[in-house]
Amino acid sequence: MTADTHGDDERVVVLAHEKFPERAKTATGVLKYAEYDVVAVLDRDRAGTTTTDHRADLPAVPIVESMADAPTADTLLIGISPIGGEFDDSWRPDVRTAIERGCDVVAGLHSFLSADAEFAELAAEHGVELRDVRKPPADLTVASGAGADVDADVVLTVGTDCSVGKMTVALELLAAARHRGVDAGFVPTGQTGIMIAGWGNPIDRVVSDFTAGAVEEMLVEVGDEYDVLFVEGQGSIVHPAYSAVTCGILHGAMPDAMVLCHSAGREAIHGYESFDLPPIDEYVDLYEGLAAPVHQSDVVAGALNTSAIEDDEAARAAVEEYAGALAAPATDPVRFDADAVLDAVLEEV
């Protein structure tokens, strides 16, 4: 997938059967942040309703029963992922219909659509593409250090843990920067980010030796087209399982500034509860210390996911406390505005 795969006028149908919106993170991410046009959501449990009936912050898109009921489209995108990441056979008729109607099909599943004999044959027959975004390109290699040479200023979202909002924060900062007229771009590193952006390398699936190289390859591809690039971070530098991916992104992206993302109240690594999160200032020292020998970079701001806090005042207090621990501006860019954080970022780069 290259940076120009999706045109902004591409019409996309998003499959989210039985899971919209709470358990359809990719579907809601695509609805909220992608530049292409989502023309329908497939959810057989909510057919006849509209996305906004379920979540007010999404664009209004009709939810229909099946691909046969969807309007004309260019692409079907699988917007949910069952545990294990396998294809669910109840989706087979929708994928078949999509291919027969001439749609490309995009998925981020563990099991590749392109390895499914029926779909591969049907796709060849109808001249459409099956795009498995978890499948890394075959031509990746080791980093050369070229990330330092791109024209754009690079901002990387880093985190205290997985699932603290690194992709969302990058996309919110992108939107806020563009709103100010900044020529800003987004570099995805995970499957949802890739589906939203319509291009990108799935960094967690590449050969470990190529981790930094796969990030560098994207920077080199788009780094001269923008003034500022927001790079989606992954994991955490002290995650017992995923720190390799985090470290490779840090050194491959060679950021000029970092935004530290955290989730309010999180005290231990998600799913690894015997590992406590270190204090916030220790994260700042670790990320800055590790970045510096390759490319000097400071944590210039923070983003706190306050979605678990009901009361706005309490959320604002949590953000203030987080800013204090960081000794830098902070916000929850989904709940509040991103201005002070964006100021800090743009001032630094």
Nearer to a second copy, 212 or 228 (CB): 212
User: Could you say whether residue 282 binds a second copy (CB under 8 A)?
Assistant: yes
Q: How many Å apart are CA 62 and CA 46, to the nearest integer?
A: 10
In the numeric block, the tokens 């992608």 are attached to 34
User: Could you say whether residue 260 binds a second copy (CB under 8 A)?
Assistant: no
Amino acid at 67: M
Kindly state the number of chain residues that form the binding site for a second copy, as judged by CB under 8 A. 43
Q: How many Å apart are CA 203 and CA 347, to the nearest integer?
A: 29
User: Could you say whether residue 86 binds a second copy (CB under 8 A)?
Assistant: no
Q: How many Å apart are CA 169 and CA 188, to the nearest integer?
A: 12
CB of 265 to a second copy, least distance (A): 18
Q: Are strands 268-269 and 257-263 parallel, antiparallel or unpaired?
A: unpaired
Nearer to a second copy, 241 or 308 (CB): 241
Q: Report the residue from 70, 123, 196, 203 that binds a second copy according to the rule CB under 8 A.
A: 203
In sequence order, the β-bridge partners of residue 232 are none
Which of the stretches 31-39, 44-52, 92-100, 211-219 binds a second copy when contact is defined by CB under 8 A?
211-219
Q: Report the residue from 51, 168, 246, 331 that binds a second copy according to the rule CB under 8 A.
A: 246
User: Could you say whether residue 155 binds a second copy (CB under 8 A)?
Assistant: no
Q: How far apart are the first and last CA of the chain?
A: 29
Q: Report the residue from 3, 142, 175, 317 that binds a second copy according to the rule CB under 8 A.
A: 142
Task: Burial-class residue 131 by CB neighbours within 10 Å (0-12, 13-18, 19+).
Answer: buried
Nearer to a second copy, 206 or 345 (CB): 206
In the numeric block, the tokens 């497939």 are attached to 42
CB of 191 to a second copy, least distance (A): 12
Q: Are strands 11-15 and 268-269 parallel, antiparallel or unpaired?
A: unpaired
Query: Interface residues with a second copy (CB under 8 A)?
Result: 142-145, 203-213, 237-248, 250-251, 272, 274-278, 282, 285-286, 289-290, 292-294
